[in-house]
Amino acid sequence: MPFLRSDHRWYRLLVSVTRVVISFLGAGLSNFIWLAAFLTFAEKPPGGPVSWLLWCLAPPMTALGFSYGIILFDCYVANKRISLLSVLPLPLVGCVIGEAAAFQFGPMFIGFGMFVLGGIAVLLREVCCSR
């Protein structure tokens, strides 16, 4: 197929979109794992130290999911190796800001904030890396 050549802009767009989708799947899986741990280990009258520790672990866990999605895609599909430290900072900043912004509306909304701003961070990384 002539439109799937590696030097064609549609192919590069398809690769970028697929990388972002895999990144979102990784973030969803890691957020699911965090939520299971939170529901299992958080104190029942909320506000204890374990609950606060688990709340603070939500952005790093979700950012790791975003990052590992990108790393797995690049490793298995694009056949190139990238380090976690080259991918992690942007999703981590996005997830922390998203959690802080959404926490004001209620603690159970932090997932939405982390996914929106973490996803924007991943999209910004893709735009910067594609140029």
Question: What is residue 47's three-state secondary structure?
Answer: coil
DSSP codes of every residue in 63-117: HHHHHHHHHHHHHHTS-----HHHHSHHHHHHHHHHHHHHHTT-GGGHHHHHHHH
Query: Which of 8-22, 24-38, 64-78, 86-100 has the weakest average pLDDT?
Result: 8-22
Joined tokens for residue 98? 């998203």
Distance between CA 82 and CA 59 in Å, rounded? 21
Domain residue extents for the chain: 23-130
Question: What is residue 51's three-state secondary structure?
Answer: helix
Please state the pTM of the whole predicted model. 0.85
Per-residue pLDDT for 2 more than 80? no
pLDDT in tens, 45-81: 777 888 888 889 999 999 999 999 999 988 888 788 8
Distance between CA 128 and CA 109 in Å, rounded? 29
